């Protein structure tokens, strides 16, 4: 059994990374994770973000170096490949806008120095959405990608000592050309899964390539594998991360059956067990993060760290732990399963609207909900949010009110405390709101809206679909719980709450 746990601010030191997708993240030994590039709000990045595992520290190293055009490091890009060999991170390809790269860089993470490499041999063409993996800590194998005109199915091997590229001559049956797939070395074989193929279909096939180890003298050849068990659905933009005897697949996007024009994003975890050679669903004890693709998932011992990604509308900047049962982080979560810890960072994102919030609370999407989303039709929310109750019955709300005044709760002073808490929020700024206040604030916001529009209460208070007069479409009325709020939502939530102030004085 595993647990998904949103990372706490106390899990880290330093400045947390900002939202992005299409970036890469590689493990440098057991000491650090190095993140490079990516895309956010149509802006491509070339920065380096490092997580020091031992110090639990996020930092931006000051890199030196010089390229052929005099630049310090690679130009901004996303959807490139990155592979770690010892203390070095090798970068190839990617794109900036519609411009695809064929340049080749290495970062020495001991001294944080970039070098643009002049390579030899059979040079790969510029491309993005390729996939690559390390061979025996010396070579790199790269497969597939998209060059702007066609899907690719070529295989290149780079010797990092001689800097010579070799296009691998593969005989026999070849996998369909593809991009957005994964490529992972498992002992002597390269495993390739999924991706988007020629003409656009998204695939769910698994292939193994032999002949990559010179000493074995095997003729390079592909074999399609059809393993037993619960195989993942067809997808691209997913990740496969090696952890012990398993390969863990997470996320990605596919198409929704007969609604094949529309992407469906995934947040499921599927394991390829290397011992039993079969697919398995990873047992998850709680709700996973929002579905996404083009994220990164790296391993830290028995833990996995999820960062970033994109779901068609939102670029994520949240950090999540995936940990086994018995881990101290799992114990922390199970002790407070339905509450946001006071120091928990709230994920940020762009264009995070009501449709995204509805989708975040769902583990799967039906064809009907996909059609509603595509046509812009409001979909009903289920009634599994916290019920809208009277403030005197909202224990967390009244205790927060009493702690603000500094007196013990009693039936004689509860109403005065409530009035003081609402006055406190009326004068508050977004930066002054503590995370422990967000839950009571959100519920009071929904409570006051309900009373304003449905003064008789009744069944309408719990209606899953409520419409408001024009210009009064309160953005956060349908939010099920505080965990769906983003950091940049706090300002707007507080502003809308203050607009209800004329009604506040009538409530107490």
Instruction: Render pLDDT for 478-488 as a digit per residue (tens, 0 to 9).
Output: 776 776 777 77
pLDDT band at residue 29, thresholds of 50, 70 and 90? very high
Contacts for 53-58: CB closer than 8 Å, 24+ residues apart: 53/300, 55/13, 56/11, 56/12, 56/13, 57/12, 57/13, 57/14, 58/12, 58/13, 58/14, 58/15, 58/16, 58/17
Taking residues 334-350, what's their average pLDDT?
38
What Å distances lie between residue 39 and 36, 43, 78, 239, 426, CA to CA?
10, 6, 6, 17, 37
DSSP state at residue 484: G
pLDDT at 454: 60
Task: Decide: 458 and 374 in contact? Cβ < 8 Å.
Answer: no
Taking residues 418-429, what's their average pLDDT?
88
Task: Decide: 425 and 497 in contact? Cβ < 8 Å.
Answer: yes
CATH 2.120.10.80 domain residues, the chain: 2-333
pLDDT at 112: 97
pLDDT at 375: 39
DSSP state at residue 121: E
- Cα separation, 372 vs 368, whole angstroms: 6
- Residue that the structure tokens 């340049």 belong to: 103
pLDDT at 461: 38
- Quick: pLDDT tens for 356-407: 333 333 333 344 344 334 434 333 333 344 567 788 888 888 888 888 776 5
Bridge partner list, 291 = none
Using alpha carbons only, give the angle 456, 459, 461 rounded to the nearest 5 degrees. Answer: 70
Element (H, E) at 130: none
pLDDT at 225: 96
pLDDT at residue 502 is higher than 60 = no
Q: Tokens representing 438?
A: 């967000």
If you average pLDDT over every residue of the chain, what do you get?
82
Task: Decide: 400 and 436 in contact? Cβ < 8 Å.
Answer: yes
Q: Who has greater pLDDT, 407 or 119? A: 119
pLDDT at 251: 97
Q: Tokens representing 100?
A: 């695809």
pLDDT at residue 283 is higher than 50 = yes
pLDDT at 246: 93
- Express as a percent the part of the chain with pLDDT over 90: 55
- Cα separation, 160 vs 385, whole angstroms: 54
Task: Decide: 255 and 233 in contact? Cβ < 8 Å.
Answer: no
> How many other C-beta atoms are found inside a 10 Å radius of the C-beta of residue 354?
16
Poorest-pLDDT segment among 194-198, 255-259, 418-422:
255-259
Helix (H, G, I), strand (E, B) or coil at 392: helix
Task: Decide: 177 and 161 in contact? Cβ < 8 Å.
Answer: no
pLDDT at 501: 62
pLDDT at residue 469 is higher than 70 = no
Element (H, E) at 369: helix 367-375
pLDDT at 387: 60
Whole-structure pTM value: 0.68
pLDDT at 450: 80
Q: Who has greater pLDDT, 95 or 450? A: 95
pLDDT at 437: 87
- Quick: pLDDT tens for 229-259: 999 999 999 999 998 889 999 999 998 654 4
Span 2-333 CATH architecture: 6 Propeller (2.120)
Helix (H, G, I), strand (E, B) or coil at 93: coil
pLDDT at 40: 96
- Cα separation, 346 vs 383, whole angstroms: 23
Task: Decide: 295 and 311 in contact? Cβ < 8 Å.
Answer: no
Q: Which distant-in-sequence residues (6+ apart) come within 8 Å of 493 by Cβ?
A: 441, 442, 445, 475, 476, 485
pLDDT at 413: 57
* 88-92/104-108 β-pairing: antiparallel
Helix (H, G, I), strand (E, B) or coil at 406: coil
pLDDT at residue 15 is higher than 80 = yes
Taking residues 197-217, what's their average pLDDT?
90
């Amino acid at each position: 059994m595993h647990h998904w746990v949103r990372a706490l601010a106390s899990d880290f030191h330093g400045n947390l990374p900002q939202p992005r997708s299409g970036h890469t993240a590689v493990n440098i030994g057991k000491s650090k994770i190095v993140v490079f590039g990516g895309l956010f709000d149509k802006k491509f990045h070339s920065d380096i973000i490092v997580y020091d595992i031992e110090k639990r520290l996020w930092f931006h190293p000051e890199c030196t170096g010089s390229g052929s055009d005099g630049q310090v490091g690679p130009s901004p890009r996303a959807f490139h490949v990155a592979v770690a060999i010892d203390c070095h991170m090798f970068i190839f390809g990617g794109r900036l806008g519609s411009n695809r790269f064929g340049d080749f860089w290495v970062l020495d993470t001991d001294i944080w120095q970039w070098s643009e490499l002049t390579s030899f041999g059979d040079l790969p063409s510029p491309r993005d959405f390729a996939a690559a993996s390390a061979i025996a800590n010396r070579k790199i194998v790269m497969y597939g990608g998209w060059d702007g005109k066609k899907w690719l199915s070529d295989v290149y091997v780079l010797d990092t000592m001689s800097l010579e590229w070799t296009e691998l001559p593969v005989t026999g049956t070849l996998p369909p050309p593809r991009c957005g797939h994964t490529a992972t070395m498992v002992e002597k074989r390269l495993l390739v899964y999924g991706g988007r193929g020629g003409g656009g279909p998204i695939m769910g096939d698994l292939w193994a390539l032999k002949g990559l180890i010179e000493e074995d003298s095997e003729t390079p050849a592909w074999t399609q594998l059809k393993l037993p068990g619960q195989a993942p659905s067809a997808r691209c933009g997913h990740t496969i991360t090696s952890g012990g005897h398993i390969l863990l697949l997470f996320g990605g996007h596919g198409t929704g059956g007969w609604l094949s024009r529309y992407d469906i994003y995934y947040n499921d975890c599927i394991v390829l067990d290397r011992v039993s050679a079969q697919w398995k669903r990873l047992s998850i004890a709680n709700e996973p993060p929002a579905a996404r693709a083009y994220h990164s998932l790296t391993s830290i011992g028995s833990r996995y760290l999820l960062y970033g990604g994109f779901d068609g509308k939102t670029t994520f900047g949240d950090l999540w732990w995936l940990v086994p049962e018995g881990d101290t982080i799992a114990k922390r979560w199970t002790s407070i399963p339905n509450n946001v810890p006071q120091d928990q960072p709230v994920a940020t994102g762009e264009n995070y609207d009501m449709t995204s919030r509805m989708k975040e609370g769902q583990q799967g999407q039906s064809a009907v909900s996909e059609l509603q989303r595509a046509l812009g039709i409001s979909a009903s929310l289920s009634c599994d949010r916290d019920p809208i109750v009277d403030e005197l019955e909202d224990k967390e709300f009244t205790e927060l009110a009493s702690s603000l005044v500094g007196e013990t709760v009693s039936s004689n002073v509860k109403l005065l405390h409530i009035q003081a808490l609402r006055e406190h929020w009326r004068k508050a700024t977004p930066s002054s709101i503590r995370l422990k206040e967000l839950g009571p604030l959100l519920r009071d916001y929904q409570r006051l809206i309900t009373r304003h529009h449905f003064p008789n209460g009744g069944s309408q208070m719990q209606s899953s679909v409520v419409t408001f007069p024009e210009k009064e479409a309160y953005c956060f009325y349908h939010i099920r719980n505080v965990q769906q709020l983003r950091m940049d939502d706090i300002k707007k939530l507080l502003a809308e709450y203050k607009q209800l102030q004329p009604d506040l004085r009538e409530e107490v």
